Amino acid sequence: DIQLTQSPSFLSASVGDRVTITCRASQGISSYLAWYQQKPGIAPKLLIYAASTLQSGVPSSFSGSGSGTEFTLTISSLQPEDFATYYCQQLNSYPFTFGPGTKVDIK
Amino acid sequence: EVQLVESGGGLVQPGGSLRLSCEASGFTFSSYYMGWVRQAPGKGLEWVANINQGGSEENYVDSVKGRFTISRVNAKNSLYLQMNSLRAEDTAVYYCARAGANWGSRWYYDLWGRGTLVTVSS
């Protein structure tokens, strides 16, 4: 199975900050990677798919990049509604594993 | 309204069975891969299973193979997860998800239900 690691696991930031989260895969996954945002008690929300394609309706402050084994999710200017946990998921091969998550908290 | 609504969760004893349902509305259900993702209390997301549009292809995470079965009835716009031989570690919120965002040969989960809680305990 493909393992995903995320760094950092926890991030404290302020409104307006630029935030970058990294996801690394244990083997190459081409660009078959998604990023999700999840708030407590609510289902995950798709932000980015195919590593860099912004899902419809998602603010352009979110962007994704990378291919192969290293990927990044960037929030260009953190807004109050962006405080949440972020997960990456690989869809290169079954099982479609998720990363452990990165919690973004208010500084 | 485009939505997925899960049902069927509850408290079950170890070794017991439960069948989850997911009813889709507002889109052409038969056109999409569908999947189940779970989240144990206070933990991260775990992909459980998915099924293709016609129901002929199923895939599972190793920890549920032989115990869980995913199925669908397109005429009823419904997805199911039959869970047998349940264990304490199966305790989680189970989400139904539609694989609707496409790039290349992969479909990403773009629509999620609110989830249904399964608790396995004596």
pLDDT in tens, chain A (107 residues): 999 999 999 999 999 999 999 999 999 999 999 999 999 999 999 999 999 999 999 999 999 999 999 999 999 999 999 999 999 999 999 999 999 999 999 88
CB B118 within 8 A of CB B20: yes
Task: Name which of B47, B60, B110 is nearest A46 (Cβ-Cβ).
Answer: B110
Kindly report the number of other CB atoms within 10 A of residue B31's CB atom: 10
In this predicted structure, what is the pLDDT of residue B65?
98
Mean pLDDT of B8-16: 98
Q: Could you write out the three-class secondary structure of chain B?
A: CCEEEEECCEEECCCCCEEEEEEEECCCHHHCEEEEEEECCCCCEEEEEEECCCCCCEEECHHHCCCEEEEEEHHHCEEEEEECCCCHHHCEEEEEEEEEEEECCEEEEEEECCCEEEEECC
pLDDT digits (tens, 9 = 90+) for B57-112: 999 999 999 999 999 999 999 999 999 999 999 999 999 999 988 887 888 999 99
Q: Is B103 in Cβ contact with A50 (below 8 Å)?
A: yes
* CB contact (8 A) between residue B59 and residue A100: no
Query: Cα distance from A30 to chain B (closest Cα, Å)?
Result: 11
Chain A CB contacts of B106 below 8 Å? 32, 50, 91
CA–CA dist B107, B99 (Å, integer): 5
Min Cα distance A97 → chain B (Å) is 6
Q: How distant is the Cα of B78 from the closest Cα of chain A, in angstroms? A: 19
Contacts of A49 in chain B (CB under 8 A): 101, 103, 108, 110
Q: Could you tell me which residues are beta bridge partners of residue A107?
A: none
Q: What is the average per-residue pLDDT within B47-63?
A: 97
CA distance B93 to chain A (A): 10
Residue A55 DSSP label: P
Take residue A78 and report the two structure tokens written for it: 């953190």
Chain B within 8 Å of A36 (Cβ-Cβ)?
A: yes
Residues paired with residue B22 on neighbouring β-strands, in sequence order: B6, B79
Check residue A98 and report its DSSP letter. Answer: B
Residues in A closer than 8 angstroms to B115, CB to CB, are 43
Q: Is the separation of the CB atoms in A51 and A64 below 8 Å?
A: yes
CB contact A68 to B (< 8 Å): no
CA–CA dist B79, B24 (Å, integer): 8
Q: What is the mean pLDDT of residues B24-34?
A: 97
What does the pLDDT average to over B49-58?
Answer: 96
Query: Using the beta-carbon criterion (under 8 Å), do A34 and B108 form an inter-chain contact?
Result: yes
Which of A32, A44, A89 has the CB atom closest to B112's CB atom?
A44
Question: Within a 10 A sphere around the Cβ of A4, how many other Cβ atoms?
Answer: 21
Residue A52 per-residue DSSP state: T
Does residue A46 sit in helix, strand or coil?
A: strand
Say whether residue A50 is in contact with chain B using an 8 A CB cutoff. Answer: yes
Instruction: Give the gyration radius of chain B's Cα atoms.
Output: 14
pLDDT attached to residue B105: 80
Q: Give the pLDDT confidence score for residue B15 in this predicted structure.
A: 98
